[in-house]
Amino acid sequence: MKKTIALAGLMLLGIAGIAGAQQGHHGQHGNAPPATAATETPSTKAFRAVNDKMHANMDLKFSGDADADFLRGMIPHHQGAIDMAKVVLEHGKDARVRKLAQEIIRAQEAEIAEMQKWLKEMGR
């Protein structure tokens, strides 16, 4: 499971780096000119939407309870990994990457369920 989580993290960093390099101006990373909606591939559009949703959902009002805040932040983070993996399954071609995406979905869904259970037990 640790290997899957580490691979998921690397995948997220790689995708974030690719998306960042494609975004261009206005506080976004990279030197590439901004892509227009007309020139973006369907997978880029999907990754951008997933990334935007994940970051919006991770913008929490912190409670001061480190445990609860961590769990509440990690749930949308893990959901973002699941959603990115689904983009790969829809658009990706490499069998190794697709297999990793399936493993990430399985692992992250289980971890989300566990974190939600803990939050419920904590009364959060």
**pLDDT attached to residue 29:** 43
Domain boundaries, the chain: 2-121
Q: Write the DSSP symbol of residue 24.
A: -
Q: Which residues of the chain, if any, have pLDDT below 70?
A: 1-37
**pLDDT attached to residue 124:** 87
Q: What is the rounded CA–CA span in Å between residue 103 and residue 30? A: 30
**99: which 2 tokens?**
């297999």
Q: What is the rounded CA–CA span in Å between residue 33 and residue 22? A: 7
**CA angle centred on 109, ends 64 and 8, rounded to 5°:** 85
**pLDDT attached to residue 116:** 97
Kindly report, residue by residue over 72-107, the tens digit of the pLDDT: 999 999 999 999 999 999 999 999 999 999 999 999
**pLDDT attached to residue 54:** 95
Termini Cα distance of the chain: 26
**pLDDT attached to residue 1:** 53
2-121 fold: Ferritin (1.20.1260)
Cβ atoms of residues 34 and 25 within 8 Å: yes
Q: What is the dihedral of CA 33, 38, 42, 43, to 10 degrees?
A: 0
